[in-house]
Amino acid sequence: MDRDMRLRRLWETIQDIPPGSVANYGQIAEIAGIPRGARMTAYALRVAPQELELPWHRVIQASGKSAFYCNSRHFKMQRDRLADEGVPMINGRVDMKQYRWEPALDELLWKPSDAWDDQ
Q: Does the residue 118 lie in any domain? A: no
pLDDT band at 111 (very low <50, low <70, confident <90, very high): low
116 in a domain, yes or no? no
Is 8 inside any structural domain? yes
On whether residue 114 sits in a domain, the answer given is no
- Residue 23, domain member (yes or no): yes
- Measured between alpha carbons, how far is 116 from 119 in angstroms, rounded to an integer? 5
Q: For the residues 50-72, what does the mean pLDDT come to?
A: 96
- The confidence score (pLDDT) of residue 113 equals 55
What rounded mean pLDDT belongs to the chain? 91
Residue 67, domain extent: 3-109
Per the structure, the count of domains in the chain is 1
In a 10 Å sphere around its CB, with 0-12 CB exposed, 13-18 middle and 19+ buried, how is residue 15 labelled?
middle
Is the confidence at residue 119, as pLDDT, over 50?
Answer: no
CATH number of the domain encompassing residue 13:
1.10.10.10
What is the reported pTM?
0.87
pLDDT surpassing 50 at residue 118: no
Q: Rounded to an integer, what distance in angstroms lies between the CA atom of residue 76 and that of residue 92?
A: 10
In-domain check, residue 9: yes
In a domain? residue 117? no
Is the predicted pLDDT of residue 112 greater than 50, yes or no?
Answer: yes
Q: What percent of the chain has pLDDT over 70?
A: 92
